[in-house]
Chains A and B, each alone.
Chain A
Amino acid sequence: MTSPIPPFGDPWERRQILKMMAAGLALGGVSGCDGDSDALVPAVMPATDMVPGVPGLFTSASVIGGYAEGILIEHRDGRPVKVAGNPKHPASLGATDVFAQALLLGFYDPDRARGPTLNNRPVGLSHFMTALDKRRQHLAETHGEGFRILTGTVTSPTLAAQIAQLRAVYPGLRWHQWEAVSRDQVRAGAQLAYGRSLETVPRLERANVILAIDSDLLSSAPGHLAYARAFAERRNPARTQHMSRVYAVESMPTLTGLAADHRFAVSPPDMPAVLAGLAAAILRDEPIPDGAPPWLAGVAADLKSHRRGAFIHAGPDQPAETHALVHALNEALEGRGHSFDLLPSAEAAPLDQRASLTDLVRGMESGAVDTLLILGGNPAFTAPVDLGFEAALRKVAFSVSLADEPNETSAAATWHIPEAHPFEAWGDARAFDGSVAIQQAQALPLYGGRSQNEMLAIFNGDYYPDGYSMLRRAWQDRLAGDQPWRAALMTGVVEGTAAAPVGDALRPEAAAALPKAEKSAGVTVLFRPDPHLLDGRFANNAWLQELPRPLTKLVWDNPLLVPPALADRLGLAKGDKAALTVDGRRVEAPVWIVPGLADDCVVAQFGFGRRRTGSVGEGAGWDYFQLRRSLGLHDAPAKLEKIPGRHVLASTDRRGLLTETEREAALARQSTLASFLADAQVLKSPGAAVSVTLYDQPPAQSADMAWGMSIDLNACIGCNACIVACQAENNIPVVGKEQVAREREMHWLRIDLDEGSQFQPVLCMHCEEAPCEVVCPVGATVHDAEGLNGMVYNRCIGTRFCANNCPYKVRRFNFMAFSAEEKRPAQSRNPEVTVRARGVMEKCTFCVQRIAAARIQADIENRPIRDGELKTACQSACPTQAFTFGNIRDPDAEVSRRKASPLTYAMLGELNTRPRVTYEGRIRNLSTDAEDG
Chain B
Amino acid sequence: MIMAGVGWWWGGARTDFETGVGWTLDQPVPFSHEHHVAGLGIDCRFCHSGVEHSADAGIPPTYTCMTCHSQVWTNAAILEPVRASFAQNKPIRWNRVVDLPDYVYFNHSIHISKGVGCASCHGEVDRLPLMAKQKPFTMQFCLDCHRDPGPTLRPRSAVFDLHWKRESTTPSAQQMLDFYHIGGRKLTDCTICHR
- Given known pairs A53-B55, A848-B195, A859-B114, the reply for A43 and B186 (CB within 8 Å) is no
B-side contacts of A856, CB under 8 Å: 107, 109-110
Residues 40-99 of B contacting A (Cβ, < 8 Å): 50, 53-56, 58-64, 85-86, 89-96, 99
Q: Is A782 an interface residue (CB 8 A)?
A: yes
Cβ-neighbour of A788 out of B20, B54, B191 (below 8 A)? B191
For A52, the chain B residues whose CB sits under 8 A away are 50, 54, 56, 58
Q: Look across to chain A and name the residue whose beta carbon is closest to the beta carbon of B89.
A: A44
Least CB separation from B112: chain A residue: A860
Q: A14, B96: Cβ atoms under 8 Å? A: no
B113 contacts across to A, CB distance below 8 A: 859-860
Nearest neighbor of A77 in chain B, beta-carbon distance? B56
A75 to B: closest C-beta gap in Å: 14
Q: Would you give the 0/1 interface string for B160-172, flagging 1 where the beta carbon is closer than 8 Å to chain A?
A: 0000000000000
A10 and B25 contact, CB distance less than 8 A: yes
Q: How far is the CB of A757 from chain B (nearest CB, A)?
A: 37
Instruction: Give Cα distance in the complex from A690 to B62, angstroms.
Output: 65
- Partner pick for B186 among A3, A45, A704, A785, CB 8 A cutoff: A785
Interface string of B24-41 (1 = CB under 8 A from A): 111000000000000000
Confirm or deny: A794 has a beta carbon within 8 angstroms of a beta carbon on chain B. yes
Q: Are B61 and A43 in contact (CB under 8 A)?
A: yes
Chain B interface mostly: loop
Chain B residues with Cβ under 8 A from A784's Cβ?
186, 189-192
Once the chains bind, are B189 and A790 in contact (CB under 8 Å)? yes
- Given A10-B26, A51-B50, A54-B53, A15:B195 Cβ within 8 A: no
B63 touches A46 (CB 8 A): yes
Interface window among A33-41, A442-450, A904-912? A33-41
Cβ distance A785 to chain B, nearest Cβ, rounded Å: 4
Contact of B56 with A53 in the complex, beta carbons under 8 Å: yes
Distance (whole angstroms) from the CB of B1 to the closest CB of chain A: 23
Chain A contact residue count (CB 8 A cutoff)? 50
The CA-CA distance from A766 to B50 in the complex, in Å, is 34
Q: In the complex, which residue of chain A has the Cβ closest to the Cβ of B87? A: A44
* A41 contacts B63, C-beta separation under 8 Å: no
Q: Is the CB of A11 within 8 A of B91?
A: no
Contacts of B58 on A, CB cut-off 8 Å? 42, 52-53
Contacting residues, chain A, for B25 (C-beta < 8 A): 6, 10, 13
Interface flag for A702 (CB, 8 Å): yes
Q: Which of A2, A11, A862 contacts B95 (CB 8 A)?
A: A2
Complex contact B103–A794 (CB within 8 A): yes
A845 at interface, CB cutoff 8 A: yes
Residues B186 and A39 in contact, CB atoms below 8 Å apart = no
Question: Whole-angstrom distance between the alpha carbons of A702 and B184 in the complex?
Answer: 8
Whether A862 contacts B54 by the Cβ 8 Å rule is no
Q: For B147, what are the chain A residues with a Cβ–Cβ distance below 8 Å? A: none
Q: Name the CB-closest residue of B to A12.
A: B17
Residues of A within 8 A of B50 (CB): 51-54
Tell me whether A792 and B194 are in contact (CB under 8 A).
yes
Return chain A residues, CB-CB under 8 Å to B96.
37-40
Q: How far is the CA of A10 from the CA of B22 in the complex (A)?
A: 10
Per-residue B-contact encoding for A7-45, CB less than 8 Å = 1, 0 else: 010110111000000000000000000010111111111
Contact between A849 and B55, CB atoms less than 8 A apart: no
A860–B90 Cα gap in the complex (Å)? 35
Q: Are B110 and A860 in contact, with the CB atoms below 8 A?
A: yes
Q: Once the chains bind, are B186 and A10 in contact (CB under 8 Å)?
A: no
Chain A residues with CB under 8 Å of B92's CB are: 41-42
In the bound complex, what is the Cα–Cα distance between A298 and B107 (angstroms)? 63
A408→B90 CA distance, assembly (Å): 41
Given contacts A792-B194, A834-B102, A849-B195, contact A44 B23 (CB under 8 A): no
A705 on the interface (CB 8 Å rule)?
yes
Write out the residue numbers on chain A whose beta carbons fall within 8 Å of the beta carbon of B114.
859
Q: Is the CB of A834 within 8 A of B181?
A: no
- Contact yes or no, A862 B181, CB < 8 A: yes
For the complex, is A832 an interface residue (Cβ under 8 Å from B)? yes
- B59 with A42: CB separation less than 8 A: yes
Residues of A within 8 A of B55 (CB): 53
Do B181 and A13 touch (CB < 8 A)? no
Chain A neighbourhood of B63, CB < 8 A:
43-46
B64 to chain A, nearest CB (A): 7
Report B53 CB to chain A, min CB distance, Å: 5
Whether the pair B93, A785 counts as a contact (CB closer than 8 A) is no
A794 to B101, CA, bound (A): 10
Which A residue's beta carbon lies closest to that of B47?
A42
Q: Is B105 an interface residue (CB 8 A)?
A: yes
- Which residues of the other chain, B, contact A14 by a CB distance below 8 angstroms? 17-18
Decide if A833 is an interface residue (CB 8 Å cutoff): yes
B91: chain A residues at CB < 8 Å are 41-44
A818 touches B (CB below 8 Å): no
Q: Which residues of B contact A813 (CB under 8 A)?
A: none
A14 to B26, CA, bound (A): 15
Q: Separation in Å of the A104 CB from the closest CB of chain B?
A: 20
On whether the beta carbons of B195 and A53 are closer than 8 Å, the reply is no
Nearest-CB residue, chain B, relative to A11: B23
Say whether A175 faces chain B, with CB atoms less than 8 Å apart: no
Pick the contact of A790: B56, B105, B194 (CB < 8 A): B194
A801, CB-defined interface residue at 8 Å: no
- Convert A65-107 into 0s and 1s, putting 1 for each residue whose CB lies closer than 8 angstroms to a CB of B: 0000000000000000000000000000000000000000000
Q: What are the residues of chain A within 8 A of B89 when measuring CB–CB?
A: 44-45
Residue pair B54, A51 in contact (C-beta under 8 Å): yes
Contact A40 B181, CB 8 Å, known A10-B23, A13-B20, A856-B107: no
* A39 touching B103, Cβ below 8 Å: no
**Complex: chain B residue closest to A43, CB-CB:** B61
Chain A residues with CB under 8 Å of B23's CB are 10-11, 13
How far, in angstroms, from A793 to B113 measured CA to CA in the complex?
Answer: 28
Cβ–Cβ < 8 Å partners of B194 in chain A: 790, 792-794
Q: Does A517 contact B (CB under 8 A)?
A: no
Shortest C-beta distance, A61 to chain B (Å), equals 29
Question: Which residues on B sit within 8 Å (CB–CB) of A38?
Answer: 96, 99
| Among candidates B54, B90, B191, residue contacting A44 with C-beta atoms closer than 8 Å | B90
Contacts A6-B26, A45-B63, A859-B113; A702 near B18 (Cβ below 8 A) = no
Residues of B within 8 A of A785 (CB): 185-186, 189
Chain B residues, CB < 8 A from A6? 25-26
User: Chain B residues near A44 (CB, 8 Å)?
Assistant: 61-63, 85-86, 89-91
- Please tell me which one of the listed residues B54, B64, B181, B190 contacts residue A53 in the complex, with CB atoms under 8 A apart: B54
Considering the complex, give the chain B residue whose CB is closest to the CB of A54: B54
**Is A42's CB under 8 angstroms from B61's CB?**
yes
Give the docked Cα–Cα distance between A44 and B50 (Å). 16
A852 interfacial by beta-carbon distance below 8 Å: yes
Specify which chain A residues have a CB less than 8 angstroms from the CB of B184 in the assembled complex: 702, 704-705
Residue of A nearest to B104 (CB): A794
**B60 contact from A2, A42, A51, A54, Cβ within 8 A:** A42
Q: Which residues of chain A from 557 to 582 have a CB within 8 Å of any chain B CB?
A: none
Enumerate chain A residues within 8 angstroms of B181, measured Cβ to Cβ.
Answer: 859, 862
Q: Which 3 A-B pairs have the closest CB atoms?
A: A53-B56, A53-B54, A784-B189
Beyond the given pairs A41-B59, A859-B110, 8 more chain A to chain B contacts, judged by CB atoms under 8 angstroms and listed by A's residue number, are A13-B20, A44-B91, A45-B63, A46-B63, A702-B186, A791-B195, A833-B195, A849-B105
Query: Which residues of B are at the interface with A, using a C-beta cutoff of 8 A?
Result: 17-18, 20, 23-26, 50, 53-56, 58-64, 85-86, 89-96, 99, 101-103, 105, 107, 109-110, 113-114, 181, 184-186, 189-192, 194-195
Interface of A with B (CB < 8 Å)? 2-3, 6, 8, 10-11, 13-15, 35, 37-46, 51-54, 700, 702, 704-705, 782, 784-786, 788, 790-794, 832-834, 845, 848-849, 852, 855-856, 859-860, 862
Q: List 24 A-B contacts (CB under 8 A).
A: A6-B25, A8-B26, A10-B23, A13-B23, A14-B17, A15-B99, A35-B102, A38-B96, A41-B59, A41-B94, A42-B92, A43-B91, A44-B90, A44-B91, A45-B61, A52-B54, A52-B56, A785-B186, A786-B185, A790-B194, A790-B195, A845-B195, A856-B109, A859-B110
